[in-house]
C-alpha cells in the first residue's frame, strides 16, 4: 500500500481564502481583527516563527502588532506589556513566542494573558476547558492536526490513536482532542518502554517527539494514518520530521509530509483562533454581554 498524502499546505491555503472573507465581513461591521505577537530576546528560530505569523496575518488581512522586548527585560515589564494588550480593544489575540529567557517564568506570563485573547490556548483556563471539551481556543498545532485528520474522511471514534510525545503544547492536548472525539488514546513519551509495542496498534499515529528517524515501518500498522508533527533540522540543513517518510508511506494509508504537513496548519489555526476571538468580541459587544474585555483572573499557585 502507498499512502495518500495529506497536504497541509493546500488545506491551509483553502482555509485562508475563507479567512479573508471573514475578515472582510468583520471590517464591514467596523471590527479590524488584530493579533499581537510578543517576542522576548532574539532567538533566531523564534524570529523566523514570529515572521511567519506576521506574514500569515498580512496574507489574511489581519492587523498584526509585533512587540520586541530585550532579552534582559524584567518580568514586570513583560507582564505590563501583556496587561496593556489585554486592555487594547483593537487586539483580539495575544501570543507570547516561546521559549522565554530563563529569568521570565513562562507560567506567570501565559496566565497574564486574557483568556478571551489566548489564541495559543496555553492559559490554564483554556487548558482546563480542553479537558472538559469546552475550549474556546484549542492549541494551534493539535487543532491543525485535527483538521488534517478530517480531510481523510475517516471517523476517529473507536479508533486506536497513539500520540508519541507528551508535551503541554502538542502531545497532551492532542491526546485530549482525540479522546473528545471518542478515540481510544495512548500517549507515549521518552520513558515509555518498548515504543513499538504501542505504535504498532495505532490506527492513527501522531508523532511529536522531535527525534528524526524515530518511527520506522516496523512500528507502523498496515493502513494506519500517520501524522508527523516533528520538525528537525539535519546537519546537512534538510528539514525532516520524526517519521521515516519514504519507508512508512509504503505501509500507511495516509501520511503527512515534512515540510508541508502540520507546519503550515499551525500558523493557519492561529489566524482561525484570532478571527474567532474577534467574532466573539463583536458578538459580545453587539449583545451588550460584556462591558469590557478584562479576563477572569485565574492565578497560578506560587
Ligand atoms: P518537546 O516539548 O521537546 O516534547 C517532546 C516530547 O516527546 C516529550 O514528551 C518527550 O518525552 C517525547 N519524546 C522524546 N523522545 C522520545 C522517544 N524517543 N520516544 C517517545 N517519546 C519521546 O517538543 P514539542 O514542543 O512537543 O515538539 C515536538 C516536535 O514537534 C518537535 O520536533 C517540534 O519542532 C515539533 N513541532 C512542530 C510544530 C508544527 O507546527 N509542525 C509545532 C510544535 C512543535 P518526555 O516528556 O518523557 O521528555
pLDDT at 72: 97
Lowest mean pLDDT among 5-14, 251-260, 278-287: 278-287
- Over residues 256-285, the mean pLDDT reads 95
- Over residues 267-286, the mean pLDDT reads 92
Residue with CA nearest ligand 1 atom 39 = 263
Q: Which three cell numbers stand for residue 60?
A: 489574511
Q: Which three cell numbers stand for residue 109?
A: 506570563
Select from 50, 229, 266 the residue to mutate for testing ligand 1; criterion: most ligand atoms less than 8 Å from CB.
Answer: 229
Residue with CA nearest ligand 1 atom 31 = 210
Select from 95, 170, 227, 244 the residue to mutate for testing ligand 1; criterion: most ligand atoms less than 8 Å from CB.
Answer: 170
The model's pLDDT over 215-230, given as tens digits with 9 standing for 90+, comes to 999 999 999 999 999 9
pLDDT at 296: 38
- Over residues 141-162, the mean pLDDT reads 97
- Per-residue pLDDT for 193 more than 70? yes
Tell me what percent of the residues of the chain surpass a pLDDT of 70: 94
pLDDT at 285: 74
| Rounded distance between C-alpha atoms, residue 52 and residue 142, angstroms | 18
pLDDT at 287: 59
Are 20 and 61 within 8 A, CB to CB?
yes
Instruction: Note the pTM of the prediction, 2 decimals.
Output: 0.93
- Per-residue pLDDT for 183 more than 70? yes
The model's pLDDT over 21-70, given as tens digits with 9 standing for 90+, comes to 999 999 999 999 999 999 999 999 999 999 999 999 999 999 999 999 99
Top-confidence residue, 143 or 300? 143
pLDDT at 1: 83
93: nearest Cα among 125, 51, 59, 137: 137
Select from 144, 210, 212, 272 the residue to mutate for testing ligand 1; criterion: most ligand atoms less than 8 Å from CB.
Answer: 210
Q: Note if 53 is an active site residue.
A: yes
pLDDT at 302: 34
Residues with beta carbon inside 6 Å of ligand 1? Answer: 141, 164-167, 169-171, 188-192, 195, 208-211, 214, 229-232, 262-263, 266
Gap from CA of 210 to ligand 1 centroid (Å): 5
The model's pLDDT over 287-302, given as tens digits with 9 standing for 90+, comes to 554 444 343 333 333 3
pLDDT at 298: 36
Gap from CA of 283 to ligand 1 centroid (Å): 37
Element holding 145 (H helix, E strand): helix 140-151
CA angle 273, 19, 82 (to 5 degrees): 35
126: nearest Cα among 95, 83, 157, 161: 95
**How many alpha carbons fall within 13 Å on the CB side of residue 294?**
4
Are 34 and 90 within 8 A, CB to CB?
yes
Gap from CA of 189 to ligand 1 centroid (Å): 8
Gap from CA of 256 to ligand 1 centroid (Å): 17
| Rounded distance between C-alpha atoms, residue 245 and residue 254, angstroms | 11
| Rounded distance between C-alpha atoms, residue 259 and residue 272, angstroms | 21
Q: Note if 249 is an active site residue.
A: no
The model's pLDDT over 152-177, given as tens digits with 9 standing for 90+, comes to 999 999 999 999 999 999 999 999 99
Residues, the chain, total? Answer: 302
Amino acid at each position: 500500500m502507498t499512502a495518500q498524502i495529506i497536504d497541509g499546505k493546500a488545506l491551509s491555503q483553502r482555509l485562508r481564502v475563507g479567512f479573508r472573507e471573514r475578515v472582510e465581513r468583520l471590517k464591514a461591521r467596523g471590527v479590524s481583527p488584530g493579533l499581537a505577537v510578543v517576542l522576548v530576546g532574539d532567538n533566531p528560530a523564534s524570529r523566523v516563527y514570529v515572521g511567519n505569523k506576521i506574514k500569515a496575518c498580512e496574507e489574511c488581512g489581519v492587523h498584526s502588532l509585533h512587540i520586541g522586548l530585550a532579552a534582559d527585560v524584567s518580568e514586570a515589564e513583560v507582564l505590563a506589556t501583556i496587561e496593556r494588550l489585554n486592555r487594547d480593544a483593537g487586539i483580539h489575540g495575544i501570543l507570547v513566542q516561546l521559549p522565554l529567557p530563563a529569568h521570565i517564568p513562562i507560567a506567570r506570563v501565559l496566565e497574564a494573558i486574557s483568556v478571551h485573547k489566548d489564541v495559543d490556548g496555553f492559559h490554564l483556563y483554556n487548558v482546563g476547558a480542553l479537558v472538559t471539551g469546552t475550549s474556546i481556543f484549542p492549541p494551534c498545532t493539535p487543532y491543525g492536526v485535527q483538521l488534517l485528520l478530517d480531510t481523510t474522511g475517516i471517523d476517529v471514534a473507536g479508533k486506536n490513536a497513539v500520540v508519541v510525545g507528551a508535551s503541554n503544547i502538542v502531545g497532551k492536548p492532542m491526546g485530549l482532542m482525540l479522546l473528545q472525539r471518542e478515540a481510544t488514546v495512548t500517549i507515549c513519551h521518552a520513558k515509555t518502554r518498548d515504543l513499538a509495542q504501542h505504535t504498532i496498534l495505532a490506527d492513527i499515529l501522531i508523532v511529536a517527539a522531535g527525534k528524526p528517524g524515530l518511527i520506522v515501518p516496523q512500528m507502523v500498522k498496515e493502513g494506519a494514518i500517520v501524522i508527523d508533527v516533528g520538525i528537525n533540522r539535519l546537519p546537512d540543513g534538510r528539514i525532516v520530521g520524526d517519521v521515516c517518510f519514504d519507508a512508512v508511506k509504503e505501509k500507511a494509508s495516509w501520511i503527512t509530509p515534512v515540510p508541508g504537513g502540520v507546519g503550515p496548519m499551525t500558523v493557519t489555526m492561529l489566524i482561525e483562533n484570532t478571527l474567532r476571538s474577534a467574532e466573539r468580541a463583536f458578538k459580545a459587544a453587539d449583545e451588550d454581554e460584556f462591558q469590557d474585555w478584562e479576563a477572569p483572573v485565574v492565578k497560578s499557585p506560587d
